Structure 1
Amino acid sequence: MALSWACLAILLYLVPFQNLLPISVTAVPGGFLAVNSSTSWTNSFSAPHSVKFDDGSFVTIILSRVSPDLYYGQYVCGCGFFYNRTYNRSLFANFILYYEEGNFKGSDYPEVVWSANPKNPVSLNATLQLTSEGGLVVEDGNGSRAWSTNISNKSVVGLNLTDDTCNLMLLDDKNATIWQSFDHPTDTLVLGQKLLRGQQLTSEGGMFSFSITSEGLFFYINSNPPDIYYYYYPYSNVKYNYSQFLNQSFATFEFDYPSPGIALGLSITAKYMKLRPDGHLKVYDGNWYEVDDFLNPDIGYCGYPGVCGNYGICTDEQCSCPLPINGTNYFHPINDRLPNLGCSLVTPLSCDANKNHILIELQNITYFPFREGLPDVHPDYQHVSLESCKQSCLKVCSCKAAIYNSSNRVGSCYLRSQIFSLMYADERDLREETYFKVYIKVQNVPLPPQQQKHWLGFILGSNLAFVLFLLIGFFVFKVWKKESADEVEEYYLDHVPGMPTRYSYDDLQAITENFSKELGEGGFGTVFEGTLIDGTKVAVKRLDGFGQIKKSFLAEVETIGSIHHFNLVRLIGFCAEKSHRLLVYEYMSNGSLDKWVFHKNPEMLLDWQHRKKIILDTAKGLTYLHEECRQKIVHLDIKPHNILLDENFNAKVSDFGMSKLVDRDQSQVVTTMRGTPGYMAPEWLSSIITEKVDVYSFGVVLLELLCGRINLDRSQPEEEMLLFDLFRKKIKEKQLSDLVDKNSGDMQLHGEDVVNMMMVANWCLQFDFTKRPSMSMVVKVLEGVVDVESF
């Protein structure tokens, strides 16, 4: 029977907060929230319906399922905001809380079973809105949208949370489910929940994932490229459709082949299955006691990629670093007391000193992707000699290890850009047909020349002493001046509102394995990959140089230290310690836009839908900087290298080392010329700039993305060398379709839409900056709200 508004109004039950609900929601038993028009909740520590935890974390409960006959001392379902003090971030989530003596207990941390925005956490004062037209929408404290149920053409009349499975559901007027959290699993499967083909569980932090395809079940560590650490292939002709967590802790996998499925499980009842940040798939009962670790019987303690940290070697459940080679120790533990944290290079790899790179062989060692029984890993080179394999790794700075398979005289070469845990190879692994040679790249530090065996006489006498006195005095003055400047900077950093986490230099050395995983060169510095203690990948930028380093560092911290938008790369933390200046950002797995546009790799071509999304995302990020911050922020260096892409190709503006803060009452500012040739607006010649310089640079990026080439391409004929000039010529000739990226058939298929988008670029590239649109107007055009021809 359909649920009317009246019926829904008597089905709401929120305990123990019945008297504290907003006026638009009525509190009655049943577990439903009825939507009168629009209802919202704020993520706040002081909210009356919040539960505080001992470490300062808290949950803001929006809906909970506590039945009247609930006995004391039981775990129950709730949904709302969960603020994690350790990481200073909030998620809208379904969670399990401990309920006793009429209250939720703050001594036991909540167990999150589903979260809406794990990749886009929000800050304090974020809000959740429940509306009849849009369903659920999460907005950050600055008003930017972090997540929504993305419902269209459906009317929502109620929100339900089931008490047995913590399934959050949106209902229509016929009591039918419009949307449910069960359909969007994160890292947990609840009893009865399915994981469909094409979906995946992703561990907190994003390091590990579990997915099901028609070919079988696959567990990955999300490296670049991802590596399988466990899999299960079905029997012949079996095609999997989904995985479902059923009674008695069975994980049953149904498929097209007429068979009941495959059962993995225990003889006791279990309720939750979670992919942990360490790659374990664990099962828990209703009180969150662990009852099984599914993969352990098959892969053992040493089979998990992160069990001993990077470069760590696992032997009989013990972790150690690689042994010295010919008396030289190339590795040391990150923490002597915690060997499972892994090892780092004694001398970090340096691309500037790549002539001193050597490969050392680790005897009787293998690597998890090549463990017997796993699917074949595709080699980088086939039918090559061992020496050719090693030289291929030495020629590429990003290569950290070369693994050579001499089985059956095939000569397969695997180059790895990062190394997780290694493992001792037992006799089974050392058989000829499965034998791999493992070579790790290290920095070979040449011995200093022998000290000369003569003493300097007193030739310089008093003159030398006088010179030394002057040098010492000058040095002391410089140190005093630097310490004074550092004190000013320390005071400044401690008083910037909303500052992110502050790290010590030792912390960042450990996080980045002594800065051994270089991702590339950023503005004024080098960027390294790192991993936080919870498994979250980060990008750490170490600012290099002297004169510009402090200015760049302060610019980035001041600019994005207290702002957050989905289309801006998030600043997680920083380090300002002695001469060290480092910035810690969220990790963007698909790198910068330039490698997807300018490199003619057929496997890295973006289709039309992805390019449209990237263009719109970038425009939204710039709109926020120009119009929605307390102070206007002019980026000053918009180019594809500073537009980063996450795993879902969401585009985010990065690198604020050149940015300029502008008061709202200022229409323009005077500043020295800065930026990248080819992307700089004409008004830079006068040094009087506005936010319209970013609009111009955006127009250049837009044109490059649509045409699939860089603005200044010296490999082209002279008349086509500058894309901007060629663009103007094709406009006059009305032959813009000639410029559509010819490397992509999909782009050619949407040629008319691409040409229309080029007119947006033309609008942004006008010589007179007063005629260029604002970025908010560009967003409206891209979203189809207004038309370019109207302006």
Structure 2
Amino acid sequence: MASFSLIIFCFYFSLPSIFDGFVSGISLGSSLAVNANNFWVSSPKGSFAFGFFNRSDEEPNQYGLGIRYNSLLIPTSAQRVVWSAGGDVIVGPQASLQLTMEGDLVLLDPPKSLPAWTSNTSKLSVSQASLLDNGNLILLDSNNKMVWQSFETPSDTVLPGQNLTAQTLRAATRDTVSSYYSLALDDTGQLELKWETSINYWRSGTASLGAIGLMIGSNGALQLYDKEFRPVWLRFGEDHDDPSVGFRHLRLDMDGNLRMYSWVKEIGSWREVWRAIENRCEVFATCGQQGLCVLTPTGEALCRCPFKSSEISNSSENIKCLAPYQQCSSGTTLTALKHTVLYSLYPPHDAVNYLSLSQCRDSCLSDETCTAVTVMADGSGECRMKTTRFVTGYKHASVPSISYVKDCLDPMALNPGIIISQTPSVEPSSPKRRHGFCLPCLLGAACGTLLAFFVIQIGVCYCFLRHRRRKEKIHMERRAMAISRGPIRLTYLEIKDLTKDFSEKLGSAVYKGVLPGNRLVAIKELERDVPEKQFRSVLSMVGSIHHKNLVKLEGYCCDSEHRYMVYEYMKNGSLDSLLVGPRKKRRLSWRRRAEIWTGVSRGLAYLHGECHRFIGHGSLKLENILLDQDLVPHLTHFALPDRQAPRAEIDVLAFGKLLLEMVTGQVAGPTLCAWAYEEWAQGRVQGVLDADLDGSKVAWGEVERVLRVAFWCLQARAGLRPSIAEVVKVLEGLLTVDPPPFPFNGDHPLTENEGESPENGGIGHVWSESCELGLPENGIGGGYGGEGLGDDTMLENVGESPKNDGDGPTWPDSGELRPHFET
């Protein structure tokens, strides 16, 4: 449990009274440090405190900055953290917080040069900070007007008086699974619990009721309200309207469940008074990679691995429980798990068919990619196939299903509980010697033999036809599963059928296809000489990638020399057609463009740092950004098996070019970058903006920030470019950024690696005065067309940090921050 008890820090503050005396003010220039005196900032009545706290009792020197309960009625060990700066930001023992003279709250963590977190309020005329008695940390201007509050940036907790509207709660991080849980209101007004971005495992059921926000009352009522502040959904804690309860909160816990808690003074502890999901095993990925969830009679959820003899305890979090099947030469078998539901974790999608129990079981045995299968006995007839070893699920006597786990048919690898039936041996009896000759016996034997032969032949033919028809039926049903939620394997003939013999071309080697149920897909043809092993390796990697801003892989074909990848279809096509193409009549507003480039940066950051391994894009441009029906951007053209892997700074460079194109509305050509930089440097930002945009609806401060980011990304020296993760923070307004130097040297072209060129093995792209990207023919490809550049190496920061010598960025004393220019 996070604790404040061992932290020592100091805050120098003044105490002017504002808001009718309910808060204490913290003046500009104040500072707080982990290793100073034993003081913290508390609210006027002492209900809450703001300061540093231990992230973990087991691991020393890991601290967070946040707000916790501070009432004398609650012992120190039970004083929960209700808000954390930056979510799960961890800092060291040298960390400090400053309220700068410019009005920014800045969390510093030496020796790191970048701030760990900032309130980004330097332009809001902040005069002081205050902690209210309801647990809200606020920043006030000189007129005592609130310009920032912690209630608008929640972490995992909602307090009475706090409204959750467009914000998202995220569970505190315990491991790689719990950090994926989130709570938010969707576009229909439903409250949703999600795992990652695509798995909804609980909803409030309030669609179309007009809910716009969530709040918890001090009386223990949880409600969703509409724009007239009328409740449209109500849930009550067990101690609703109990006047003896002094403290309550709603929290998204580490296990993915949403709960309401009350402080019970009589027993001196927090009491759970409401939960969203009664059966904890119904929370998606409760056990993560540690097996199946089993609910005990007391309601405790245990994680047990059905593939091993020993139970996995909560302390064995590093142990992974994986489905046992891998490619094997000794044949395969299935182990039955009754009253068990299994589902895939990475990727979190199963292929769903409607088959009988025997057909479902046989389909898994005949499919070399199948690792496990679940047959639902609830009347739906669903056959849920998994093609990954990362499998989890739940088990209970009331669950109407049976699951089968595949394993190699090897006596040494079999579970001792599996029984393989064998035909008992029969000792042959001693033949009796015959001395006579019986003609009727011979005729009868011959006729019987012929009859048996014909019966056997008919039976063999019948079984063969039946088996072939059953295989065809299974094949067609797999093809026709319109609700399939995972990549499916297709034959070349099926690809031809889906595309109507490749009749409608979408781009270079990309064709439009239609799955049953009128589900549109885009089918990408790859080079035929891609080795099958390499192709399947890429499929395994791409199949585990799931992000809102990445095109989803729906299926694939690996038939003899044919290689195809089937992607979801994007209704609005590529970004270039809406920005500079013939469809430009559909104008993109400034706000829409900002949403698009922010989404693109998030998708790219996911590829670079949030997958199981680094994935470069290598061909980031307008044509390779696809827009769905809601104009949400999806990156395509990445991680294809017939291309090489690019370096990270290449993607950052291309992203800077893309930003400039979206701001100006022009395709980057000769002199565009130099012209745009010159206009910006001379203070003529309006001249850089796309003439089709309505200037009255443009946030000029945001234009300035985006242009700075673009020019930093376009630096010819790779060491000066930020990482894409830092770019995301700047675009989201979490960091500010310095004015950039001139992006490139106009005297001569520069290569990515000084002294190297594409001809002698350097990165295949050259910067010239025109700011154009020269992309080689053998670069990375993908998606719907276009070529890119490639290099097998990962990003390595080399060289020295830039100094204020006119050749790099300058660091002002005003507290402004750069995203990342560490070389």
TM-score under structure 2 length normalisation: 0.47
Greater relative contact order, per chain length (Cα 8 Å cut-off, separation 6+)? 2
Structure with higher helix content: 1
TM-score under structure 1 length normalisation: 0.49
